[in-house]
A and B are shown apart, each in its own frame.
Chain A
Amino acid sequence: MTFPACTDIENPLEDISSTSQSEQPDSHKDSVVDTEFSRRTFVKTTGILSAALATGLPQLATAQDGHAAAASTPHTMSLTLKVNGTSRALTLDTRTTLLDALRETLALTGSKKGCDHGQCGACTVLVDGRRINSCLTLAVTADGAEITTIEGLAKGDTLHPVQAAFFDHDAFQCGYCTPGQICSAVALLNEHKHGALSAVSFETGSTTKPELTDNEIRERMSGNICRCAAYPNIVAAVRAASKGATA
C-alpha cells in the first residue's frame, strides 16, 4: 500500500500536512508511509488528501474556471480563534473552513466532517454560544470569536450534563454524528431556556414558552442527521438533559 507523499500537495496545504505529521507518534514522524501504518495515520492521511480535493487544488480550480494565473494564487490571512477558552493565532488560506481549521490545523478532531455542505450537522460547534455548521463557516469570518467544540464541554473528568445524558441513554451507535449532536443539544437547551420557538411551536399553537415535547426536540434537532438512526435514544437523552437542567 503506497500513498502519495504529502509534499506533492501544493503550498497552501503544507502547513496542514506538517501539523498533522507532528501529531503522529514518533515512529511515524519521518515518513507517512510506514510499515506499522496505524488506522489513525491512515485516516489522517486520507483525510488530508480528501481535504485537499475538497478544498480544490489550485491547478484544478484554474483548469475548471479558466481564470487567469493570478486568480489561482492563494490568499492567506492571520487570525485568532479562541477555542475552548484558549486563544490560538493562525495564518490560514482564506478558503479554510472553520471545520478544517479545527481539525487539520488545531488537531481538534472531535468535530466531524460528514457531508461538508451543511446538510448533516456532524460539524456543529458553538460560535459565541450559538450552534452553527463549521463546514460552511470560513475560518476568517470567525476571527476573534469564542468557539466551543465537543472537546471543550467537559470540565476535567466531569462530563457536561448533555454528554452524560447521551452516555446514560446510549444515544449513539457508530458515534460519528455524536459530537455534532451533543453540541447541537447543548445549544438547543439554551435556546429553549430563552424562549426560542420552532416550527412545531406554531403548528401546535404553543407560541408562548413551549414545553420541550418529543416533537419539539425532534424538530429542533433536525439539523443533525444520524445515519445509524439512533434517534429515539437521542430524543430520550435530550429530554433527560432538559429535565435535569430545569430541576
Chain B
Amino acid sequence: MNPFNYQRATAPDQAVKAVSASGAKFLGGGTNLVDLMKYNVEHPTTLIDVTHIPFDQIAVNSTNAVIGAGVRNSDLANHEGIRTNYPLLSHALLSGASAQLRNMATTGGNLMQRTRCYYFMDTAFPACNKRTPGSGCAAIHGFNRIHAILGASNECIAVNPSDMSVALAALDATVHVTGPNGKRSIPIGDFHRLPGTTPQLDTNLKPDELITAVELPASKFAKHSYYLKVRDRQSYAFALVSVAAGLEMDGNTIQSAGLALGGVAHKPWRSPEAEKFLVGTIVSPDAFRKAADLAVAGAVPRSDNAFKIELAKQSIVRALTLAAQGVQA
C-alpha cells in the first residue's frame, strides 16, 4: 500500500474542497477502497474520511424517503420505516456481504463499489481497461464465468457487484450529490455507466463530487416485492444473478412493476420493457416468463457464462412469483 495523508471532513463543502487535491479520494466505510489499496489497484495519496459528516439520517414519510449517504448498510436495512415501506431495499442490503461489512459500509460507498472482476482485482494481469485504460481486457478471452451478458463492450465485460443498487434501480431512486459547482440530482439509471470505450469510469459522478443522499419516491411495492440472489454459496458471496422485483397489485392485476437485475451488467440492469409489459397483466407464469424474455433480450454470452441467460430468466420468474405472493410483507 502506498503512503497517504488522512483527513477527516465534518461538512460536505469542506470535503469537496479537500478532494480537489491531486490524488485525493473520499473514504467511507473502506470495505472496498482499503481492500483495493492493499491490492495496489487503488493508490490515493490523500484520503478524505467523510464518515464524520452528519449525513447519517433517514427520513421516511408518505411521499418519499431520504437516506443520508453516510448511513451504514446495516442501519439502513434495519430502519423501521425502510423495512416497512421498502422491504425490497432491506432484503437486498441484507443479501450483500456479511454483518461485519454491512456495519462498516455506507450508502454512498455502496453506490461507488467497484467490480470484483478477477482481472481488475489482480495487478499480476497487465490487461485491464478499467484499471489501465488501453491495456486490453483479460476477461473477454479469459475465465469469464462471473462476467456480463448484457450491455458489455469489447473493452470490458465486468459487472457491478452491488445488491443495494439493484434494489435502488427497481425502486426508481435518485442520487443527490454536491460539488464545486453546487448540488445536482442524478436518477439511479444514469448514475452507473455501461463500459463502452471508457470502462475506467464506473459512474457519472465527477471525481470532485460527493454523494450526500439517496431519495426514494413514495413506496408502491411495500406489500409485493422480493430480492432473489443466486450465487455459488448460500451466503457471503457476490451474485451470479440477482433480481429485484416490486409489484403494485390490485387483486391479481399488476398496476405497476419495478424490475432490475444484478450480476449481469456493468450497472444494475433495469428493464423498462418488462416493467411496461407487466402493467395491466394478470399474475400468471406465462406473463412472468414473457417479462423475463423481455428483460434478458439481447443478452450476449461469453465462453463461460452462457448459463447466466437461462439462470436470469428463471430467477426473474421466481422473484416475480414470490413478489406477487407477498411472502416478504
Asked if A pairs with B, the answer is: yes
Question: Within the assembled complex, what's the spacing in Å between the Cα atoms of A58 and B197?
Answer: 34
In the complex, A67 has a CB within 8 A of chain B: yes
Q: Give which listed residue, B2, B23, B31, B45, contacts A136 with CB less than 8 A.
A: B31
List CB contacts (< 8 Å) of A193-230 with chain B: 195-199, 201-202, 205, 207, 218-220, 222-224
Chain A residues with Cβ below 8 Å from B227 are: 202
* Chain B residues in 8 Å Cβ range of A56: 1-2, 40
Q: How far is the CB of A51 from chain B (nearest CB, A)?
A: 11
Contact (Cβ within 8 A) B235 A138:
no
Q: Which residues of A contact B91 (CB under 8 A)?
A: 199, 202
- Is B4's CB under 8 angstroms from A75's CB? yes
| A20 within 8 A of partner (CB) | no
B5 partner residues in chain A, CB cutoff 8 A: 75, 94
Given contacts A61-B1, A191-B99, contact A205 B328 (CB under 8 A): yes
In the complex with contacts A65-B2, A195-B78, A130-B43 CB distance below 8 A: no
**Chain A 61-95, CB within 8 Å of chain B: the 1/0 string?**
11011010001111101000000000000000111
Verify if A131 is at the interface (C-beta below 8 Å from B).
yes
Q: Known interface pairs A118-B101, A223-B236. Does A61 touch B3 (Cβ–Cβ under 8 Å)?
A: yes
- Interface check A133, CB cutoff 8 A: yes
- Tell me whether A54 is interfacial, beta carbon within 8 Å: yes
A178 is an interface residue with CB less than 8 A from chain B: no
Q: How far is it, in angstroms, between the C-alpha of A82 and the C-alpha of B1 when the chains are bound?
A: 26
Of the listed residues A61, A118, A121, A202, the one surrounded by the most CB atoms of chain B closer than 10 A to its CB is: A202
For the complex, give the distance between the alpha carbons of A191 and B49 in Å.
Answer: 26
A137 touches B104 (CB 8 A): yes
**Which residues on B sit within 8 Å (CB–CB) of A117?**
35, 38
Contact of A61 among B40, B83, B90, B329 (CB under 8 A): B40
Which residue of the partner chain, among A72, A73, A133, A141, contacts B101 with CB atoms under 8 Å?
A133
Do A222 and B34 touch across chains, with their CB atoms under 8 A apart? Answer: no
A132 at the interface (CB under 8 A from B): yes
Q: Does residue B100 face the partner (Cβ distance < 8 Å to A)?
A: yes
In contact, A95 and B3 (Cβ under 8 angstroms): yes
**In the complex, A93 Cα to B31 Cα: how many Å?**
19
A104: Cβ under 8 A from any B Cβ: no
Complex: how many Å from CA A238 to CA B49?
Answer: 35
Which single residue of chain B is at the shortest CB-CB distance from A97?
B34
- The answer to whether the Cβ of B272 comes within 8 Å of any Cβ in the partner chain is no
Interface residues of B in 235-266 (CB under 8 A from A): 235-236
CB-CB under 8 A for A94 and B103, given A61-B1, A202-B91, A205-B327: no
Q: How far is the CA of A188 from the CA of B192 in the complex (A)?
A: 34
Whole-angstrom distance between the alpha carbons of A114 and B177 in the complex? 37
A54–B39 Cα distance when bound, in Å, is 9
Chain B proximity of A181: nearest CB distance (Å): 12
B78 in complex: contacting residue of A67, A71, A72, A197, CB < 8 Å: A197
Q: A207 to B3, Cβ gap below 8 A?
A: no
Task: Assess whether A55 is interfacial by the CB under 8 Å rule.
Answer: yes
Residues on the B chain within 8 Å of A201, using CB: 94
Contact (Cβ within 8 A) A64 B123? yes
**What separation, in Å, do the CA atoms of A121 and B100 have in the docked complex?**
8
Q: Is the beta-carbon distance between B94 and A202 smaller than 8 angstroms? A: yes
Q: Could you tell me the distance in whole angstroms from the C-beta of B304 to the nearest C-beta in chain A?
A: 22
Q: Give the contacts of B10-61 with A (CB-CB under 8 A).
A: 23, 27, 30-31, 34-35, 38, 40, 43, 45, 47, 49, 51
Given contact pairs A191-B74, A195-B78, enumerate 6 new A-B contacts (beta carbons under 8 Å).
Answer: A61-B2, A73-B3, A121-B100, A136-B34, A136-B35, A202-B90
Q: Give the top 8 A-B pairs by smallest Cβ distance, nearest first.
A: A223-B98, A222-B235, A222-B236, A202-B91, A199-B94, A61-B2, A94-B6, A56-B1
